[in-house]
Structure 1
Amino acid sequence: MRTVAVLAYDGISPFHLSVPCLVLGDRHSPPSQYDVLVCAEEPGSLRTNAGFGVTVDRGLDVMDEADVVVLPSWHPGREPSSVLIDAIRRAHARGATVVGLCIGAFLVAASGIADGREVVTHWRWADELQARHPELTVRADVLWSDLGDLITSAGTAASLDCCLHLVRTHHGVEVAERLARDIVVAPHRSGSQAQYIPVPVPPDPSDDVIEKAMVWARARLDQPVTLDEWATAVALSRRTFTRQFRARTGISGQAWLLRQRLDRARLLLETTDHPVERVAGESGFGSSAALRHHFHALLGTTPQRHRQEFGAL
């Protein structure tokens, strides 16, 4: 059971405040693995930007004991107090993971804990954050970034992706997918903000050939899939398919497919006792050596270690 401190402040968006509470907070199915505590610099009644108030009982001292500190958005024009900045720095210095959701990246940047590193924020605010903090690398091309001790995400709904990523990291793919089903969201969106920075939107969802291509590929993760076969399956040329896939998701088809295969392999390792060679075959890697290579390159671990940490059998 990890303790999570979620910051509330006067004028906060109730949606942003509710995301970490929804994903990480108390629930019955599946049961929460976190003790979520909402805190504020000045406990008591706080206004929201939705016309109603919330009451917060706990102060910033909660951050002094938390395993995870979540900063769910912020007001870019508001200068954070030295008390709040010190609380964030203390938590980070003693080993807490700091999570900045959406424009909570502004608060992360102000604390200095990301100096010389990268942060993610909503694409609409990325240029302003970069101008204010040239010591950072500000990214607007991904949904979230995980540096281990610091996690930041893009705007609004991407906060859900980021919090699910946290659950996946702490408790494995199976738990994260059960939770995603419970709150009726996609368990893993392997895309980027590029799909939201004005690009043409299909007039009818049924005409989304890239979504159809994703469904086709997911049904064949245990089989070799060439780019030509993939494009032909949705009646596109290879060149058109490649261009449309990147425009739709922000990444290449090959990169997306690799992530899907890794998720399949992780789930099999967690829920079955299949030998690693069989897991590699059923997830499309062909050999245990290839599976180990990609596990190490993208996840920084091995299949065996992942099974030991997250396996239910």
Structure 2
Amino acid sequence: MFRGSIPALVTPFRDEAFDESAYRDFVEWQISEGSHGLVPCGTTGESATLPVDEHYRVIEVCVEQAAGRVPVIAGCGSNDTASAIRSMKAAKERGADAALIVLPYYNRPNQEGLVAHFTALAEACDLPIVVYNVPGRTVTDIKPETLGRIAKLPTVVAIKDASGDLPRVTAHRRLCGTDFVQLSGNDDMTLGFMAMGGVGCISVTANVAPRLCADFQNACLGGDWQTALALQDKLYPLHAALFSDASPGPVKYALSRVRPEMPSELRLPMTPPSEASRKAVDAALAHAGLV
């Protein structure tokens, strides 16, 4: 259902407001460069600082601009089940193809709480669900056995796995079935993730290097591991540099180098990346042939 290079899109701000024109141009560029799908309002899209109305507008603009050419997986997660349900319903009304649901953060539900959370979401809205496991941010970690239970819900179709635990790809295949969509949430680990049975990546790096990331994914999906390895070597310094300071500061800076018309403004409490981070990004962009 979902596969390939799927950028977790940054949200451009200008004078503290959502820059709709820049976002439409950005979505168009992503599609023209070969991205296989789009994720508005994820972590990289600074969803934590988007008021509800603005959050829904960002999803709406992304869907309008994509115009059915690639699937749109809208960030809808919350640590409040009722809020996540409202966001899913709003995303469905605006034409999103699926909802990206991060595990509830801060309140740290146990495994039974996770089952109850996703069951309530699936019962309240029939929008397909991509489970987002990123314990480095949420502290909560969904265990493979729990995911196996949740995957039996008819609308839970995929996982974005940013656990950093590669053997889980095989565990998930065993527990969720080989048709369950596994998407990497870590650019730097995606080559191994794909070799073990993954089918794509919800990517930060694809914001900046969509063509290279799409080519990498196409090579993996086609079994051309030699080409995939060469592209991994080309992209690896960029994967690292984009997390050399608090994200999405480095990726917004990188975008301003690749697409000068794209604003690099962040919303507090996020601040611009350090000089050391900017130098790392500059070197990585040069290594990848992007500047």
TM-score, shorter chain, exceeding 0.5:
no
Structure with larger RCO (C-alpha < 8 A, sep 6+): 2
Instruction: Give the greater-gyration-radius structure (CA).
Output: 1
